[in-house]
Amino acid sequence: MKDETLDLRVNLANRLADLSGNIIKQYFRQSNLESETKITEVSSMVTIADRLAENAMVDLIKKECPEDGIIREEGENINSKNGYAWVLDPIDGTSSFVKGLPIFGTLIGLVDLNNNLPLLGCVNQPILQERWLGITGKPSLFNNKIINNPYKNNHDYPLAEVCLTSTTPLMFITPRQQAIASRLQKVCRRTAFGGDCYNYVSLAMGWTAMPMIVLESDLKYYDFCALIPIIEGVGGIITDWAGNALNGNSTEVLAASNQNLHQQALKVILSQG
């Protein structure tokens, strides 16, 4: 994608974040909010805020970039006519949203479908006014300032001293997934649940007292696509559980503060013990 074309879409990503954020703020901490649980997914909810925010983003994309495809959480996908597609999750962390906790985010990704290359990713937290932007090949930004990942070059940190995070233990569904999660939990002395997309942006920022490993499964593309450029743009690593690049069919995600920790975690995941 040409620079000027990408710049146009970066601008559009910020407009999408502003637009969805204004809608979401209207419904945050509202009693008796219309919501429902998705029967086909583990511990997954959707609210009227999710639907309205997504629909507004879709309408703007169709107006500004009508040939771009859209992969979305709540509605029907729109096929791409030019090889590019937006990947949208209006509220990642709906369980936090409905509890009135500002640790959710709107995920906005743009991917080159022909090369399986996420071109940009935006995470927007409208309540705290926090925004992350990652563009492939460039340093990631937090509120328009370059992020410094303090653990990027800390290659001597042992896996045992890392914080292992996952949104919920319920996401490890199969016996294999449960066994892998259990192995890593035994190696990493610190384990934390909850967080959704905030696990990944916290990893990128280095906000934690020690480096992080994020281990998750039962995910969809819209759950992690926007996070890939952000994590990679700070020197972090994000792949599937085999160490391969993530794609639209991936469901298992492993992210780490640096390459060394990622390799240590992969060794545990792939072990037969």
Binding residue per annotation — 3?
Answer: no
Binding residue per annotation — 73?
Answer: yes
Binding residue per annotation — 59?
Answer: no
**Domain-embedded: residue 166:** yes
Residue 69 sits in a domain of what CATH number? 3.30.540.10
Which one of 30-34, 186-190, 252-256 scores highest in mean pLDDT? Answer: 252-256
Sequential DSSP letters for 11-30? HHHHHHHHHHHHHHHHHTT-
Residues 114 and 11 reside in one and the same domain: yes
Beta strands in the chain (DSSP E): 35-37, 45-47, 69-72, 84-92, 105-112, 117-125, 130-135, 141-142, 145-146, 163-166, 190-193, 212-216, 237-239, 253-256
pLDDT category at 266 given cuts 50, 70, 90 is very high
Residues 124 and 193 reside in one and the same domain: no
Residues 198 and 223 reside in one and the same domain: yes
Residues 134 and 172 reside in one and the same domain: no
pLDDT category at 45 given cuts 50, 70, 90 is low
Residues 132 and 196 reside in one and the same domain: no
Domain of 228 in residue numbering reads as 159-270
Residues 196 and 247 reside in one and the same domain: yes
Cα distance between residue 207 and residue 205, in whole Å: 5
Residues 118 and 180 reside in one and the same domain: no
**Domain-embedded: residue 153:** no
Residues 91 and 123 reside in one and the same domain: yes
Expressed in angstroms, the distance from the first to the final Cα of the chain is 45
Binding residue per annotation — 218?
Answer: no
Work out the widest C-alpha separation in the chain, in whole angstroms: 54
pLDDT mean over 26-50: 72
pTM for the full model? 0.94
Residue 198 sits in a domain of what CATH number? 3.40.190.80
How many domains are contained in the chain? 2
- pLDDT at 12 > cutoff 50: yes
Contact 10, 3 (CB under 8 A): no
- The rounded mean pLDDT for the chain is 93
**Domain-embedded: residue 60:** yes
Residues 100 and 215 reside in one and the same domain: no
Find where tokens 């729109």 sit.
78
**Domain-embedded: residue 228:** yes
**Domain-embedded: residue 58:** yes
Binding residue per annotation — 156?
Answer: no
Residues 104 and 10 reside in one and the same domain: yes
> Strand 212-216 and strand 237-239: pairing?
unpaired
**Domain-embedded: residue 174:** yes
Handedness of CA 30, 32, 33, 38 (dihedral sign): positive
Residues 134 and 32 reside in one and the same domain: yes
Residues 127 and 166 reside in one and the same domain: no
58-107 pLDDT, tens digit each: 999 999 999 999 999 888 999 999 999 999 999 999 999 999 999 999 99
* pLDDT at site 37: 55
Of 120, 146, 172, the domain-final residue: 146
